[in-house]
Amino acid sequence: MKKLFKRYIVFVLIIAVIYLGMPIFFQGENYKYDAIEYQFIFPATPLILGLVFSWKRGLDFTFPLIAPIIYIGSVLIYSHWYHWIIYVFIYLIVGMLGCFIGDMVYKNNIEQKKKEQRQKRLEDDNYKITISNITVEKENEE
């Protein structure tokens, strides 16, 4: 449980700060920038963090659920109840997309590291093969 907590805590805190802190700045006179928040900042958050998370740790299907769950908390606090269900699915799909892209990069990194390790082992192995006392004779075909 402690390992699981350590795995997600940084990403949960970043998402929570963005989803729960950003609406404070976009209220009142700055309400005209609300569309920027919902269409660019909030979707970019699970995309980028999903990419970083999966790039380091591989594919994890529970990570994309973090952003929608925290967004529901933001909805309950800031009362944007009329469109919350649409954005929950959008953030879930964007988070999955980020995880899939990050996983592809993760797999490519692992394959590259394995190739480098194999090459290093071949370079480090110094051995000499000598073949002696071998006679090859050709039969006459007449």
60-88 tens-digit pLDDT: 888 888 888 888 888 877 766 667 788 88
Contact 64, 112 (CB under 8 A): no
CA distance 11 to 53: 8
Give me the domain span that covers residue 97.
2-25+34-124
Contact 18, 68 (CB under 8 A): no
pLDDT of 129 reads 58
130 within some domain: no
70 within some domain: yes
Question: What's the structural domain count of the chain?
Answer: 1
84 within some domain: yes
Reported confidence tier of residue 21, pLDDT bands at 50, 70, 90: confident
58 within some domain: yes
- Out of 12-21, 69-78, 100-109, 131-140, pick the least confident: 131-140
4-18 tens-digit pLDDT: 778 888 888 998 898
Alpha carbon dihedral 57, 58, 59, 63, in 10-degree steps, equals 10
Reported confidence tier of residue 57, pLDDT bands at 50, 70, 90: confident
132 within some domain: no
57 within some domain: yes
pLDDT of 90 reads 86
- Confidence check: pLDDT of 97 > 80: yes
